A and B are shown apart, each in its own frame.
Chain A
Amino acid sequence: MSHADDFARGPVLRVVNYHNTPFAGADQFDREFAALSKRFAPVREADLDVWLDTGRWPHDRPGVIPAFYNGYRNNFDVARPLLEKHGLVGWFFAVTAYSSCPVEDQPAFTATRTLATVDDDYDDPRTALSWDELRSLDGPHVVASHTRNHTRVALDDAAKLEDEIVGAQEDFARELGHKVRSFAWLFGGRYGENPMADAAVDRAGYDFLFSNFNVQRLRRG
């Protein structure tokens, strides 16, 4: 099945992918969220369930997901208030060990992962969303998993896969009081490409997997 066939068959979801949202870009993000909110409705995981269960999108306007990857602190301080100003729901794909990392160790953490930070946003070294911030986002917005360490893992390393996929979910359950439903693997891998990773995703209990070209609702149980 080609991507063109996929688009024709649908359903097709609109997503805007963000990473850092620096203070210097706040006016731009304000314009973007204003334009998106005029045309599109906010999206939650329950909307995707309804869409797939009934074949009908449950709002009068199509939906858009502003997705924020890597769990950056400036997502909370810059993007969150602008999302709420315009009535949008952000999806925050956090990296759990980054949020758990002591502030003074965060520069070293990002330097050894594929995480880019902005130099001038803060006077202190914290660049990750804190768990308090994630708890505050959880509910008004969607908190989702983007692995535990945001590091490249050999796809045949069962222990590392377990740590990144299941371990991240354990962190969310401990800190938020519940599992999160959505997961995005690094570099956009799909469910169905790697049986070992798929088994870990199943054990973790995620419901949705975001990849480069798809959002897959997963089998449970």
Chain B
Amino acid sequence: MKAATNYDRPLFFACALCVVVGVWLRAQALEFPGVFTWDEHHFVENARNYLAHRPDLNDHPPLGKLMMAGALRALGDTAQAWRIVQLCFGLLLIPLVNRVAAWASGDTRVGWLAAAMVSLDGFFIAYSRAALLDGILVCMGVAAVWLACTARRTFQYVLAALVAGSACTVKFSGIAFLAPIVVLVVARRHWRGLLSLSAAPAVYFGWYSLGLWMARQPHSPRAVLTDTFRLYKHHANLTDWTHPYLSHWYEWFLPTHPIVMRSDVTPEGFLRVMSGVGNPALWWLVNVTVVATAISLGIAAWHWFLARPAAEGPAQGNSLRIAFLMLCFVTPILPWIFSNRDSYINHYLPAYVFGVIIAALALGQLFRSRPTTAFVLFLNVMLVGAFYSPVWGQLPITRTAMESRLILKKWR
């Protein structure tokens, strides 16, 4: 434990540096390019539609676009305003991840590790810089989970349900955050809390109805239901598997097909690329720790089953928290395993954020027994993050330098 103390200040410094660089990478040159890239047009055009009281032609629920409409209204129709909402949620995700990791481990050091690792990962950076919905969804999901984890009173559960319900009104896949929260509340036998989760559908109807009202369409609860089913059917039929950027859920762990959202050339001939590829060192750390955690939880469950202790000890309490995080990791992937719906790597983002928290927990555990190894592992994640940062933050680089980072042809 003494050896670990030697690393506390340097670790805090390194984590703070990662957060500063991560915030800078997200926020700098947000207005570039001044044209839509990747799928941005779907969401900005429909935010404009809301402001003009025209129907939303996009196939996602309205909340994300309503928030973007608010930004357009407040800041004007500029490239910065298209992306400012995503930036705010992307920045908010960092302290939220810190809180969830600290709650799960009871260790502030783990909270810092998690925040630093989320800060310096291109998967999160890219979705904080683009006018897309996934970054908003993930931030709301983590916020809902954090509120539920730390909730002790009924109104806190209501708050968690409101945020989770709002996440469902950004994208239907937000329901993946609600499921673990329900399990958590049931496990705590907090029946009032369970009842208060009904705030989630209520807020869903509220936001959806507001969207329909803004579009000057029928906005009764029945109209919300009808439109929800219409969108659900539309999504259920997206099973063509023809888009070149599609990837199956099992390909996300490599990853085989991260998406280059932007690629521009400067007058001097440098490339300015924004790729959603994650930090490879962290990506694989997540893969390894998730598998290792699943195995150790399985073993712990088996021992618990054999021993059947009368009372729950602190170690079991900690295991339950880690099991809850594993549930949060698995739930967003399940729909893609059990359906044939077209899937893209961005569908892994809600799971990956919990994978990073699990990796931080594992690293925190390693700090107790092998502090130098853990510290070097973390610094290695930081080093790889520094190397990849130009292709996350659109910093000008040569083609050769881009290719040395996006090493696989499918990554470019």
Chains A and B are bound partners = no
